[in-house]
Amino acid sequence: MSIDWITVAAQLVNFLVLVWLLKRFLYRPILDGIDAREREISDRMAEAAQIREAAETAAAEHHAETQRLKAARDGALEQARAEAAAERDEMLSQARARLNREQESRATERAQEARQYTEKLHQKGAAALVSLTRKALNDLSGETLEDRIVARAISRLGAMTDDLKAAVGDSRAAVVTTRTPLPDNLRTQIDTAIADALPGTNVRYATDPDQSPGLSLRLGGAQLGWTVDGYVDGLQEILSDAEQKRRSDAA
């Protein structure tokens, strides 16, 4: 066991050379490569972090936008609901008003129809009454009725003397027309009555089968009549006046 100091020196130099060689060709390239790779990984991580941050920001913005759109949609829906409700209420109101108007119109129409129907009914009733009365009077007219009509005419002539004088003027011809020939007693009573009212008047008697039962007297230009038709016409006028008065009261 001995030490060769020349060899020691040579080995020392060899070792130092080996340190330099390995530093040059092993450690530095390997460590620099690892450092470069770590830097690259770090850069990529930083880039990934930036991308992640950007993605998170974008996600946050998207979420906010979604929330905003949702809020806007909810608002629009609420507004649409309110508008729909208002429109529905408006339409219901209009429908109710239209319905009320139609109901009122229908009621008016019904009232009008009822009134017209009533009027027609009254008219038809009055016409039927007049017709029935006329028919009844015509059917029932006879000697007694004519006597009563003549008596009535004689009594009226006395009350109408002044009016007759004014209407007749200078004429002194009188024509008494009946449907059937008058009996003599009735003719006598008529002659007497006319002579009392209009002295000097010549009375002539005539018959007309188409005339209504009763008596018709023509004095000059004046025409007096006491016939069934005349009474029925008077009844019809009364009914017409009553109907006119009821219409004016209804209006």
Partner 1 sequence: MEMTPDEITVFTVGGFTVNATIVFTWIVMAILTLTSILITRNLRPDVPPNRWRTTLEAVVLTIQGQINEISARPDRRVLYFAGTLFLFIFVSNLLAIVPGWHAPTGSLSTTAALALAVLVAVPLFGIASRGIGGYLRSYIEPNIIMLPFNIIGEFSRGVSLAIRLYGNVMSGAVIAAILLGVAPFFFPVIMDALGLLTGVIQAYIFAILATVYISSATEVAETEPKAAVTKDQT
Q: Where on the chain is the footprint of partner 1 (CB under 8 A)?
A: 1-12, 14-19, 21-23, 25-27, 29-31, 33-34, 36-37, 40
User: Least distance (Å) from partner 1 to the CB of residue 42?
Assistant: 12
User: Least distance (Å) from partner 1 to the CB of residue 54?
Assistant: 26
Q: Which is nearer to partner 1, 45 or 136 (CB)?
A: 45
Q: Which is nearer to partner 1, 33 or 142 (CB)?
A: 33
Q: Which is nearer to partner 1, 13 or 195 (CB)?
A: 13
Beta 202-207 vs 173-178: how paired, if at all?
A: parallel
User: Least distance (Å) from partner 1 to the CB of residue 52?
Assistant: 24
Could you give the CA distance from residue 164 to residue 150 in angstroms, rounded to a whole number?
A: 17
Q: Say which amino acid occupies 33.
A: G
The contacts found for 163-166 with CB under 8 angstroms, 24 or more apart, are: 164/197, 164/198, 164/219, 164/222, 165/197, 165/198
User: Least distance (Å) from partner 1 to the CB of residue 75?
Assistant: 56
Q: Which is nearer to partner 1, 3 or 251 (CB)?
A: 3
Q: Which is nearer to partner 1, 10 or 97 (CB)?
A: 10
User: Least distance (Å) from partner 1 to the CB of residue 24?
Assistant: 9
Structure tokens that stand for 159 in this block: 């009350």
b/e for 214-248, b at 16 or more Cβ within 10 A?
bbbbbbbebebbbbbbbbbeebbeebeeeeeeeee
Structure tokens that stand for 214 in this block: 């009763």
Phi-psi region of 206 (alpha: psi -120 to 50; beta: other; left: phi over 0): beta
